[in-house]
Amino acid sequence: MKIAYVCEDCQIPITGVKGASIHIREVINALIKLGHDVFVITTNKGAENHKNVRYTIHEVSPFTSKKLGADLRMTLTSSKLYKKAKTLFNNVKPDLIYERYELYGSAGMKLARKFDIPFILEINAALLWGPKRRLNFRFLARYVENNIFKSAEAIIMTTDNLRDYVIRKGVDKNKVFEIPDGVDLEKFNPKISGVPIRKKYKLEKKQVVGFVGSLSKRQGLPILLDAAKKCKQQIPDIHFLIVGEGFEEHKLKKLVKNNKLEDIVTFTGAVSYNDIPVHVAAMDVTVLPNMSIYSSPVKIFEYMAMAKPTIAPAEGQMNRFFENEKEMLLIKPGNQEQLISNIIRLFRDSALRKRLGSNAREKVSNSYTWEHNAKHILDIYEII
């Protein structure tokens, strides 16, 4: 089967290191692994080079002038992408259009109607109400969104909260499906050595607490860094390894400097996705202090696949998919005292670390892989 994967969000580089970029690539790779031909139409190919890429990326330059306003920029970009895709489809008509939803992103809907192709829409956030865009005509964005949602033969979302959000808009609940993020078990496995990273950052004799991801407000990193000093009082050789980049990086580094934590906190900056596993391997305990209720954090599945004892907020999917004290330690979202006590607890109890890590690996291996997700997508295709 030939599949056209459409992404109109110019903030998601297909070859990038963001969680959204990873999600797109891993879904595509899993579909290809199952024997299908996939090509991508996007507004941001990205600058990173990936070896052995098995799909073609067709890029359309987005409109970027701020004078146009967000609503018109996205509308014009969608129209431009539609025209490009229409030319491609005239040459090679796909069997399925799979689109990652973006505000005003109507290209997939229009293409499906024109070429009579099944259309599956993937929704990863309640974009209309999120902080992502400054919209001038929210009522218009809502109108377009409702039309796109109702036109899709099936809608896939990464969390149950998003499922409720879509159904409240009048979408038939029978065509709404939840598929969370996943992980590549070969890429993320406990046999990978973290020694090179420990040597690089002089962490050979340290007990390492690690975080991987974008340095954004919703991650709750100030809570983690504020907790660092109290953790050090109990665990003298503790160290915090922060892997990633983002808008909050400058503020976080300033916080570390003001609190005189430079000796126990390391920021790696941006890291290639291929190098994420070796960084996680260097960690003894992995954390996510906070998250959005609409979030399905890729990092959690990656931590767990590498059999790392993980502390995460008791929010959304974490509550529903994972059992506290069995596969991870769940805390009240953003609760610093619980975060501190659980970090200390894990370093003082090696048996607990080992048990949580082993159970975590088993859990994701059985239920949360990209190949498992791709098979679910294909099952949905068969019934629409």
pLDDT for the residue numbered 133:
60
Specify which residues 73 forms β-bridges with.
none
pLDDT for the residue numbered 51:
66
Tell whether 120 and 42 lie within a shared domain: yes
Specify which residues 267 forms β-bridges with.
242
CATH number, domain containing residue 344: 3.40.50.2000
CA atoms of 175 and 331, how far apart (whole Å): 33
| Distance from chain centroid for Cα 73 | 25
Token pair, residue 52, equals: 């052995």
Tell whether 215 and 354 lie within a shared domain: yes
CA atoms of 127 and 103, how far apart (whole Å): 7
Instruction: Measure the N-to-C terminal CA separation of the chain; round to a whole number of Å.
Output: 15
Closest residue by Cα to residue 114 from 73, 83, 74: 83
337 touches 318 (CB < 8 A): no
Tell whether 334 and 269 lie within a shared domain: yes
- 254-260's contacts with Cβ under 8 Å and 24+ in sequence apart are 255/222, 255/225, 255/226, 256/225, 259/225, 259/226, 259/228, 259/229
287 touches 343 (CB < 8 A): yes
Number of domains in the chain: 2
Alpha helical stretches, state H, 212-297:
221-234, 249-258, 276-281
Tell whether 96 and 232 lie within a shared domain: no
CA atoms of 174 and 176, how far apart (whole Å): 6
CA atoms of 354 and 333, how far apart (whole Å): 24
- What are 87-128's pLDDT values in tens digits? 999 999 999 999 999 999 999 999 999 999 999 999 998 888
The answer to the question of residue 187 being in a domain is no
Residues lower than pLDDT 70 in the chain:
50-52, 130-133
Domain of 373?
2-182+369-383
Closest residue by Cα to residue 149 from 111, 108, 178: 108
**In the block, which residue shows the tokens 């916080």?**
255
pLDDT for the residue numbered 297:
87
Tell whether 136 and 16 lie within a shared domain: yes
The answer to the question of residue 189 being in a domain is no
CA atoms of 9 and 59, how far apart (whole Å): 12
Tell whether 329 and 289 lie within a shared domain: yes
Tell whether 144 and 80 lie within a shared domain: yes
pLDDT for the residue numbered 50:
66
pLDDT for the residue numbered 167:
92
How many contiguous H segments (helices) and E segments (strands) does the chain have? 14, 13
